[in-house]
């Protein structure tokens, strides 16, 4: 999880506390997030095979 937070800080440009809040929100709303991703075809638009990776998790 720490790697994900560090990547968000580096790539998105948010501070660590905000990244941790994002992760907490995603955990609390996991079913809503997965439904939104599936309904909007976002998996196909994610770079570097990330969509395939997330698809396996969903």
pLDDT band at 28; cut points 50, 70, 90: very high
Helices 30-39 and 16-28 meet at what angle, rounded to 10? Answer: 80
- Convert the pLDDT of each residue in 47-58 to its tens digit: 665 555 555 555
CA diameter of the chain:
30
Kindly state the average pLDDT of the residues 36-41.
78
């Amino acid at each position: 999880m720490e790697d994900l937070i560090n990547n968000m800080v580096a790539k998105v440009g948010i501070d660590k506390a905000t990244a941790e809040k994002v992760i907490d929100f995603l955990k609390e709303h996991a079913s809503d997030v997965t439904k939104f991703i599936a309904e909007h075809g976002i998996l196909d638009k994610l770079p570097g095979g990330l969509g395939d990776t997330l698809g396996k998790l969903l």
